[in-house]
Amino acid sequence: MAARRHTTTRRPVLAAAAAFLLPPNPVAAAERLAFDDLYSGWSVMGASFSPRLLALVGQEAALRGYMAPPLKAEADFFVLAREPMALCPFCSSDADWPVDIVVVYLRRQAQPTDPGTRIEVVGRVETGSWTDPDSGFVSQIRLRDARFRPL
C-alpha cells in the first residue's frame, strides 16, 4: 500500500512537468488510471469494479491503451483495449472481446488511429451496463466527453 500511495503522489508532479515541456494538453489535470486499476476482483461469476474506479465516477480520468478497429467509420465511439487487437477470425470470434475493454465516447469525431499505436484517452468515468443505441455494443466502463492523443 505504501508503494501505491507513493506512486499516486508522484504522478501529478510528473504530469505537471510533462505539461510544462509539451504542448498544452488536458491530460495533466486528469487522474491517470491503468487497466489493472479498473477491476479489483475477478471470478467466474463476474468482475468487480475497483474502489479507485468507483471513486472517479463522474470525474475525469486518463487511461492508456490501444484503439480497437472502429465499429463504424465516423469515430466518435470506439473500444479501448489493454493490448493491440489482433485476433484472428477462427481462433476468436466477434463475441470474444477481452472482458476489460473500455468504451470511449469522444467529445468530437476524430480519425481513428492505428490499432498498433498506444494512445491516452481522457474522459469522464461512467460505470454500469450500457448498450450503445447505434451499435448494440454492451459495455461496463465508459469514458464520456473524451479526447485522446497518440503516445
Q: Which of 62, 68, 102, 119 binds other proteins (CB under 8 A)?
A: 68
Residues in 72-101 at the binding interface with other proteins, rule: CB under 8 A: 73, 75, 83-99
Cα–Cα distance for residue pair 96/63, rounded to 1 Å? 22
3-class secondary structure, 62: strand
Between CA 67 and CA 31 the distance in angstroms is 20
- Least Å distance, CB 24 to other proteins, is 28
Q: Which residues pair with 105 in a beta bridge?
A: 77
Nearer to other proteins, 25 or 137 (CB): 137
Cβ at position 75, least distance to other proteins in Å: 8
- Distance between CA atoms of residues 29 and 60, nearest Å: 8
Per CB under 8 A, 8 contacts other proteins:
no
| H or E segment and range at residue 119 | strand 118-131
Q: Interface residues with other proteins (CB under 8 A)? A: 39, 42-49, 68-71, 73, 75, 83-99, 112, 114-116, 128-129, 131, 136, 138, 140-141
